[in-house]
């Protein structure tokens, strides 16, 4: 009967060297891989521009008689990987009521069409489905085409005469005013 021989010391050292090399190789590969993954996922963790205060106009830009005026909302636009400074991100109507200002989304809450203001009729209308709203954005259509009034946006009245609006977009087709993210 033969007895098994013990492994030579060189075999054990070779195994430990291979194990150490494998561990160091794994660490060396993990560092750039995790860095690349973090850089790729980083834009999803950043806050978007929706809901930020944006300067839209000056009080002097609005007629004193309360007629709504359409203004573009200009802000730094950002999506998951791109940033564009000073881009149009939406359109709103501003209406001066004495020393206050109201801001209305220019999007019809029914199906997302762009509303128009008719100064002669003193009302907003949606050319897509005929929904009607008064000059302050309240529904006028008796058919109930629009599920809610035009969406109002917050205006920072304390910063007047400069008009700052908290710009947000809302879901279409619901009676609830739900912010789109």
CATH of 53-166, one of 2.102.10.10, 1.10.760.10, 3.40.50.10700, 3.40.50.12160: 2.102.10.10
**Look-up: residue for tokens 């860095």?**
35
- Please report the pLDDT score of residue 4 as a whole number: 64
Where are any strands of DSSP class E within 59-169?
A: 69-78, 83-97, 100-105, 116-118, 123-125, 132-134, 152-155, 162-166
DSSP, res 47? -
Q: What is the pLDDT of residues 86-138, one digit of tens each?
A: 888 899 999 999 889 999 999 999 988 899 999 999 999 998 888 999 999 99
Tokens of residue 143, six digits: 């058919």
| 3-state DSSP assignment of residue 34 | helix
CA nearest neighbour of 153 among 91, 104, 84, 101: 104
- Please report the pLDDT score of residue 99 as a whole number: 84
- Please report the pLDDT score of residue 111 as a whole number: 87
């Amino acid at each position: 009967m033969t007895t098994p021989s013990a492994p030579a010391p060189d075999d054990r050292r070779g195994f430990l060297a291979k194990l150490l090399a494998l561990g160091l190789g794994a660490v060396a590969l993990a560092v750039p891989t995790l860095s690349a993954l973090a850089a790729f996922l980083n834009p999803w963790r950043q806050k978007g521009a929706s809901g930020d205060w944006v300067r839209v106009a000056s009080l002097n830009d609005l007629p004193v008689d309360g007629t709504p005026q359409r203004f573009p909302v200009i802000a730094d636009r950002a999506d998951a990987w791109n940033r564009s400074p000073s881009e149009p991100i939406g359109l709103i109507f501003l209406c001066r009521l004495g020393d206050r200002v109201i801001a209305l989304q220019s999007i019809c809450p029914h199906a997302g069409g762009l509303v128009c203001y008719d100064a002669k009729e003193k009302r907003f209308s949606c050319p897509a489905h005929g929904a009607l709203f008064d000059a302050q954005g309240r529904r006028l259509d008796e058919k109930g085409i629009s599920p809610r009034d035009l969406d109002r946006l917050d205006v920072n009245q304390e910063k007047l005469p400069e008009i700052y609006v908290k710009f947000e977009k809302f879901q279409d087709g619901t009676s609830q005013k739900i912010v789109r993210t």
